[in-house]
Amino acid sequence: MPPPSNTSEENVVASDRPVDGVTTGSVPAPQKKEDAVVRSAKKFLIIVGSILYTILMIWCFALIMMLPSPTGEMRSLVSIGLLTSLTGAAVFIIVGLLLLQRIAKADVPIATRQRSLMRLVVTLVPGIAVCALVPFMILREPPFSIQTVPSDPRTFVAPLSLTLSVEKAVATLKNLGLHPIQYIWDTNGDGKENDRTVVPTETAVYDRAGVYNAAVRIMLDSGASRLVTLRIVIGSEVFSVKPIKPIVETPARFSISELLADPKLLKSVQWDFDGNGKTEEATKPEIMHTYYATGTYHVTAIMQLTNNTQKTFKRDVEVVNPAPLPFPITLQTDPENLMGPSPFGVLFTLQTKESLKDVLWSFGDGKQEEGAELKRIGHSFETPGIYAVEVQARSLSGSLADLTVIVRSTNKLSLSDLHFEGTTVSNNTVTGDTPLAVQLKPVSSQPLVQYFWEAPNQETATIAGSTFQAVYREAGTYTVTLVAQGPDGNSLRLPLKIIVNAPGTESAFSMKPESGSAPLRVQFDASDAFVPPGEDIAGFKWEFGDEPQGQTVNLGGSKTDHTYAKEGEYKVTMTIVTVKGKEYSTQRTIVVLPPTNAACLTASRTTVTAGKAVAFDSSCSTGDLTSILWDVRSVDDPATVIEQSADASYVHVFDKVGTYTVTLTLKNKNGYTDSKSITITVTP
C-alpha cells in the first residue's frame, strides 16, 4: 500500500529516495538543521519532564508515608504537600490536554493516534491519580491505639490486672488542635460502659482466660468523639488473688475455685506464699494470707484431687503499699473483725466529706448495689467463703476512689467447754460497781484455737494476746465480743455484756489514778473516812497488795502513795484503827496494766542461705524508749555474743549455717525493759 499523501511533522522524509529510477530531490540544508533542533528540544523536554515527574512522585509517596504523623506533628508539611500535589495534578491535566489536542490534529493514521493516546494515558493518569490521592491521605487523622501495662501479651495470665492507656492518642489529638475531656471505657467488649473517667487511663481486672475486645470512646469538647479499640488475648489462668495486688499488712484472698470443675474433687492444696519452700496446707479452695513487706513473691499452689492427680500453678504476686486515694475517704465496718459464722451480717460505712456522684458496692458473692446515697449499707453473707468486698466511690469532680476489704464467712465453731479466767462471768454477763476492773481470758480444751476481742468505743480497754482488760469508771452497760477461730477455719462470735452499777454513797478511800500502766504511782486518800460516833481515829494501816509476805504494817496517816512496779491486779486494804483498838477495814482493787513500751520486731525473712543478710526493724515497738539493743547468738552456743547493735533498724549477715536467735531489748525512762526474740535458720 502506498504511503499516505499527507505526513505529520513526526514523519521525517528520507533524502534522495529514488522513485522509478528518478531522483526526486533532497531536503534543503536549512530544513534539516531545523528538524535537528526540534528533535533536540523534544529530547531535552522529555528528559527534564521525566526528572520532574520522578521527583514529584517520590515527594508524593514520601508525603503519604510521613503523614499523618502518629504524634500529630509535622503539620507544616501538610500545606506544602497540598500545594505541590494540586499544582502537579494541574500541570498533568494541562499537559495532557495539550498533547491530546496535538494528537487529535496530527495527520497520521488512526493506529498511530491510538498508540500515542495509550502512551499519554499510561504516562499521565498515574501521576494525576497520585497527586489527587495525596490530599486525602495527608489530611486524615493518624491511627490511635491503646497501650497496656504490662505490655507483653505473652505474659497475660488470668486473673490479670491490666492498665489501659490512651495517653499517646490524647497527645496526638492535642497536636491536631482537639481537646479530649472524658473517656468512656468498655474493658471487656460486651458493649456496656464499665467506667467513665477524666484521665486517659483505666485499670481492668480479667478473672478468666479468653479474648476481650476492649474499647474506649474519647469525648472531645466539641461534642465529637473518637473510638479506639484493642483485642486482648489471655491464653491461660491460674489461682486468683484479691485484691489483685495485695496491700502490705492487709489480708488477701487466694482461691483456686475457678480452676475446679467440681469442688468435691479437691483433696488438699499446698500453698507456698513466699517462694521459700515452706508450705501451708488447706482443704478448702480459698485461703487468707497477709504479707508484712512489699515486693514480688513467687507463689505456688499444688492441688491434690481425690482421684490422686496433682496440678501445680505458679504466679508472681506483687505486694504494694496502699495507693493514695484521690480524696479523703475511709471504709469502716461493724464488726471490725470481718470473720464470723454464716449467715454473717456486716454493716459497711463510707466516711468522707466529699460529695459523691455515685457509689458501686460489689460484695464478692455476685451481688451489687449502686447509688449515690449508698454511703451506709448492710449485707449478709449467707454461705461460707472468703469474699472480697469492693466499693468504688466517684466524686462530683469525677475522681474515683477504690477501697477493698476481705470478709470471711465460715461454718460455726463449737466450743462446749468454753469458760473465762479472771473476772466472774455468769450467763455471758459481768456485773459490778464502778470503778469495775474486768479481766477475761478464754479457756477451752480444744487445741489450736485463736481468740480475738472486739471492744468498740472503749478507749480504756487493752488486749494482750487472748486476754481482755478494762476499767469502767462510769455506770452503764457495755458490750465486748469474743471472736474465736479453730484450726479448720470455723469461727465463733460470742457477745458479752458488762453491767457497771453506780458507786455506793460512801467511799472509804480514793485512788488517783485508779488504773494505769506499770510502773504506776498511786495516791491514796482516806480523808473522808469516818468511824461510828464515840470512836476516835488513832491512825490508818495501808496494805497495797504487793508487799512481801510477813511484812509488818505500821500506822500512818490518811494520805499516802505507793508505786506498783509490775502489772497485775492488786487488792488494796485500808484499815482505820481507833483509840480503843477497834479496826474498820475497806478493800478495793486496782488493776496495773502492762508497761506502755512493748518490744516488737520484724525480719525481712526467717530462712536465709549462708552469706546473705537479714534486715530487722523495731519501728512497730511502742513506748518512751531510752535504749535499743539487738543481740545475735547461736542456738548451739547461747553464751557467746556474735554481734550487737543499738540501731532502730539493723542488718546482719549470717556467714555460717545454723540456727540463730536475734533478741531485741527495749528500755524506757522508768527503767522498765521488754524483750522480743526471733529465730533465723541459715541453710547451706
State mean pLDDT over 287-295.
89
Write the pLDDT tens digit of every residue in 365-388: 889 999 989 999 999 999 988 888
The reported pLDDT for the residue numbered 73 is 64
- Of 464, 466, 477, which Cα lies nearest the Cα of 436? 477
Record the cell numbers describing residue 151, joined without a space. 505490655
8 pLDDT more than 60: no
Taking residue 616's Cβ as centre, other Cβ atoms within 10 Å add up to 22
Q: How far is Cα 171 from Cα 166, in angstroms, rounded to an integer?
A: 9
Q: Domain 419-499 has what CATH class? A: mainly beta
As a whole number, the mean pLDDT across the chain is 84
533 pLDDT more than 80: no
User: For residue 169, what are the contacts with CB-CB under 8 A and spacing of at least 6?
Assistant: 144, 145, 146, 200, 218, 226, 228
Write the pLDDT tens digit of every residue in 330-378: 999 988 888 999 899 999 999 999 899 999 999 988 899 999 899 999 9
Record the cell numbers describing residue 486, joined without a space. 479453730
Most confident of 49-53, 321-325, 494-498, 508-512: 494-498
Q: Domain 602-683 has what CATH class? A: mainly beta
Q: Which fold has domain 330-410?
A: Immunoglobulin-like (2.60.40)
State mean pLDDT over 664-671.
80
Q: How far apart are the first and last CA of the chain?
A: 108
DSSP 8-state secondary structure symbol assigned to residue 622: B
27 pLDDT more than 80: no
13 pLDDT more than 60: no
Q: How far is Cα 187 from Cα 202, in angstroms, rounded to an integer?
A: 9
Most confident of 21-35, 62-76, 654-668: 654-668
565 pLDDT more than 50: yes
State mean pLDDT over 94-101.
84
DSSP 8-state secondary structure symbol assigned to residue 594: P
Taking residue 655's Cβ as centre, other Cβ atoms within 10 Å add up to 11
pLDDT band at 213; cut points 50, 70, 90: very high
User: CATH homologous superfamily for 238-319?
Assistant: Immunoglobulins (2.60.40.10)
Write the pLDDT tens digit of every residue in 182-194: 999 999 888 888 8
Percentages of the chain per state (helix, strand, coil), in multiples of 5: 15, 45, 40
Q: Which residues pair with 464 in a beta bridge?
A: 467
The reported pLDDT for the residue numbered 231 is 92
Between 16 and 277, the more confident residue is 277
What is the CATH code for 147-236?
Answer: 2.60.40.10
pLDDT band at 4; cut points 50, 70, 90: very low
435 pLDDT more than 90: no
Determine whether domain 510-593 maps to CATH 2.60.40.10. yes
User: For residue 64, what are the contacts with CB-CB under 8 A and spacing of at least 6?
Assistant: 133, 134, 137, 138
Cβ atoms of 413 and 491 closer than 8 Å = yes
Q: Can you say how many angstroms the Cα of residue 625 is from the centroid of all Cα atoms in its chain? A: 35
pLDDT band at 25; cut points 50, 70, 90: very low
pLDDT band at 577; cut points 50, 70, 90: confident
Task: Specify burial of residue 89 (Cβ count, 10 A radius: 0-12, 13-18, 19+).
Answer: buried
Whole-prediction pTM: 0.48
